[in-house]
């Protein structure tokens, strides 16, 4: 079976368009990944579990700031909450809230940009954009986002790091309310230095691990403890590479591979169609034979 020049040009154009589309989508994916790098002004919180007395003033401050009902114990109404964990030498009180990852999986997973990261590093949620797919809940390595299943107009809920206060250079409400210094607000790098200083100064008081320094690529919320974190319910199986970076290598291959596959399947379908049509199929006008000076066909 022969291809006419027109058909050859058509299939060449289709293959070229598929390749160009794949390249454009790949560049877009790479640009999006680059735009999600941690901001230079990344703020953070250092939670020292050894100093927490379980007063729950952080919970009340959060509820007051964001208009939540402090008596409503439904998970979606709690943006920050304490968990009491039994230990051999007394209970420990563990803060729970969004970790505000440096490279958040929830932001990467959201198809409508309802979640985004601010210049200060807070991961915030815009309800007006949300379509309720709950991909963010599946993507979060810490299983933090909650959903208002009980509401007729449900939304995703989580800590938003008092982003409005951060923009004004102020500490989050929970940090201001803490009476024991268990919650410390500041630049993430400075908090890491302070955490290392405490561990070095009191190696008998702290386990040599700053939770959140490397987990899931690093988080804005950092934790110190005097007992192993796995005993307090922290996930210790979280990889150190940010989830979005783990999938980038694969996702960058999807557009060109998909474009090539579509082109190949189209070519195969056309070939089968020509074979089934048989030799009588119209293959376009045959090229005219050139004639010599005497009027006969050229050799």
Q: Would you list the domain boundaries of the chain?
A: 32-250
Residue recorded with tokens 């735009």: 35
Query: How much is the CA Rg of the chain, to the nearest whole Å?
Result: 30
pLDDT at 111: 93
pLDDT at 154: 94
- Provide the token pair at 44: 């953070």
pLDDT at 19: 56
| Distance (Å, whole) CA 68 – CA 148 | 13
* Torsion on CA atoms 181, 183, 188, 189, rounded to nearest 10: 30
pLDDT at 127: 95
| Distance (Å, whole) CA 102 – CA 213 | 10
Give, in order, the Cα–Cα distances in Å from 54 to each of 65, 244, 284.
Answer: 20, 35, 84
pLDDT at 89: 87
- Provide the token pair at 103: 């490279």
* Torsion on CA atoms 210, 214, 216, 222, rounded to nearest 10: 30
| Distance (Å, whole) CA 112 – CA 130 | 7
| Distance (Å, whole) CA 238 – CA 216 | 6
| Distance (Å, whole) CA 263 – CA 204 | 65
Residues near 41 by beta carbon (within 8 Å), at least 6 away in sequence: 119, 120, 121, 187
Helix (H) or strand (E) holding 84: strand 81-85
CB burial of residue 90 (10 Å; 0-12, 13-18, 19+)? exposed
Show the low-confidence residues of the chain (pLDDT under 50): 1, 25-26, 28-35, 299
- Provide the token pair at 41: 């002004």
Residue recorded with tokens 């807070």: 122
Any idea what DSSP says for residue 289? Answer: P
| Distance (Å, whole) CA 216 – CA 85 | 24
Return the closest-CA partner of residue 217 out of 184, 186, 248.
248
The separation between the first and the last C-alpha atoms of the chain, rounded to the nearest angstrom, is 25
| Distance (Å, whole) CA 170 – CA 163 | 9
Taking domain 32-250, whether its CATH number is 1.10.3720.10 is answered by no
pLDDT at 35: 45
pLDDT at 102: 96
Count each helix (H run) and each strand (E run) in the chain, helices first: 9, 9
Reported in sequence order, the residue ranges of 137-276 that DSSP labels E, i.e. its strands, are: 146-147, 156-157, 183-187, 221-224
| Distance (Å, whole) CA 266 – CA 260 | 10
- Provide the token pair at 14: 């289709």
């Amino acid at each position: 079976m022969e291809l006419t020049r027109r058909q050859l040009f058509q299939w060449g154009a289709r293959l070229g368009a598929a390749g160009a589309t794949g390249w454009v989508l790949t560049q877009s994916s790479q640009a999006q990944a680059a735009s999600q790098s941690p901001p230079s002004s990344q703020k953070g919180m250092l939670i020292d579990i050894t100093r927490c007395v379980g007063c729950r003033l952080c919970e009340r401050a959060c509820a007051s700031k964001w208009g939540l009902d402090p008596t409503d114990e439904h998970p979606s109404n709690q943006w920050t909450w304490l968990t009491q964990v039994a230990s051999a030498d007394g209970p420990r009180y563990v803060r729970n809230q969004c970790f505000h990852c440096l490279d958040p999986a929830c932001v990467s997973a959201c198809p409508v940009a309802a979640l985004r990261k601010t210049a200060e590093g807070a991961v915030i949620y815009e309800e007006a954009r949300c379509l309720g797919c709950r991909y963010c809940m599946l993507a979060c390595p810490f299983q933090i986002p909650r959903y208002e299943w009980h509401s007729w107009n449900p939304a995703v809920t989580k800590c938003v790091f008092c982003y409005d206060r951060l923009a004004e250079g102020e500490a989050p409400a929970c940090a201001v309310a803490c009476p024991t210094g268990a919650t410390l607000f500041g630049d993430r790098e400075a908090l890491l230095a302070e955490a290392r200083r405490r561990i070095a100064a009191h190696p008998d008081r702290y386990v040599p691990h700053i939770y959140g320094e490397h987990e899931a690529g690093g988080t804005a919320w950092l934790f110190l403890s005097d007992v192993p974190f796995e005993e307090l319910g922290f996930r210790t199986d979280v990889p150190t590479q940010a989830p979005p970076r783990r999938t980038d290598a694969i996702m960058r291959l999807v557009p060109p591979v998909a474009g090539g596959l579509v082109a190949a399947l189209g070519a195969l379908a056309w070939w089968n169609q020509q074979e089934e049509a048989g030799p009588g199929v119209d293959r376009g006008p045959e090229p005219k034979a050139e004639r010599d000076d005497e009027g006969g066909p050229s050799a």
